[in-house]
């Protein structure tokens, strides 16, 4: 049997046993999945490639933390998403500074025009951040086998066929997983209120 025909579990086991060169197969097998995630955060080709390399390096370094409770593709997707999200936050934090505060006149004019002022925009952003935090907290509780296809379908806008190809799971099974994820998510969010 050729190495490329091995299952993920067999390849990962052999990599952890010292056959490090087999990691190339993992990279080839999941390059499209990782690049799909990275494209959601980066638009520059050089940064996309750099981010993908970082993700594969991080996955390699943490390979022993993969316990097989979910599919490897789900684990890798979650790792890629979290890495890109962290990088995005770091960059935003580095680039966030106030060069000047809005004049009081600007706020009064915006109120008269019916346009939201800076304070109104901050309040809306605060509510959105709170809702987003609740959603991510709920998603962290849901099993990766359900949460990852849900994210791929609704956040990333992927078709079931594309998700099936990336996760190597039949379309019918994915539809069931997404349905269960939505049901669990709804139940969890209702109990958080």
Q: Where exactly are the structural domains of the chain?
A: 1-98, 119-193
Q: What is the pLDDT of residue 148?
A: 85
User: For a pLDDT cut of 90, what percent of the chain falls above it?
Assistant: 35
Distance between CA atoms of residues 124 and 17, nearest Å: 51
Stronger pLDDT, 18 or 145, i.e. the higher one: 18
Provide the CB-side half-sphere exposure for 31 (13 A, CA): 9
Helices (H), ranges, the chain: 8-16, 23-39, 45-61, 72-95, 104-113, 118-141, 144-150, 160-167, 171-192
CATH code of the domain occupying 1-98 = 1.10.1740.10
**Span 20-47, pLDDT tens digits:** 999 999 999 999 999 988 988 888 889 9
First vs last C-alpha separation in the chain: 53
Q: What is the pLDDT of residue 126?
A: 60
* CA 131 to mean position of chain CA atoms: 17
CA dihedral 145, 149, 150, 151 (to 10 degrees): 110
Stronger pLDDT, 184 or 135, i.e. the higher one: 184
Kindly tell me the sign of the dihedral angle through the C-alpha atoms of 173, 174, 180, 183. Answer: negative
Distance between CA atoms of residues 190 and 182, nearest Å: 12
CATH code of the domain occupying 119-193 = 1.10.10.10
**Span 111-141, pLDDT tens digits:** 445 555 555 555 555 656 677 777 777 777 7
């Amino acid at each position: 049997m050729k190495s490329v025909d091995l299952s993920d579990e067999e390849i990962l086991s052999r990599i952890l046993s010292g056959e490090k060169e087999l990691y190339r197969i993992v990279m080839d097998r999941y390059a499209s999945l990782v690049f799909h995630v990275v494209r959601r955060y980066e638009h520059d080709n050089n940064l996309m490639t750099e981010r993908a390399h970082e993700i594969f390096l991080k996955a390699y370094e943490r390979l022993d933390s993969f316990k097989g409770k979910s599919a490897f593709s789900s684990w890798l997707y979650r790792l890629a998403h979290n890495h890109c999200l962290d990088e995005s936050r770091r960059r935003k934090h580095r680039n966030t500074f106030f060069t000047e505060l809005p004049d009081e006149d600007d706020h009064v004019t915006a109120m008269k025009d019916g346009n939201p002022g800076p304070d109104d925009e901050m309040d809306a952003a605060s509510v959105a951040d709170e809702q987003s935090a609740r959603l991510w907290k709920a998603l962290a509780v849901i099993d990766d086998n359900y949460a990852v296809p849900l994210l791929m379908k609704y956040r990333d806008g992927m078709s079931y066929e594309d998700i099936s190809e990336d996760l190597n799971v039949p379309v019918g099974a994915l539809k069931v997983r997404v349905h269960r994820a939505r049901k669990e998510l709804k139940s969890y969010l209702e109990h958080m209120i």
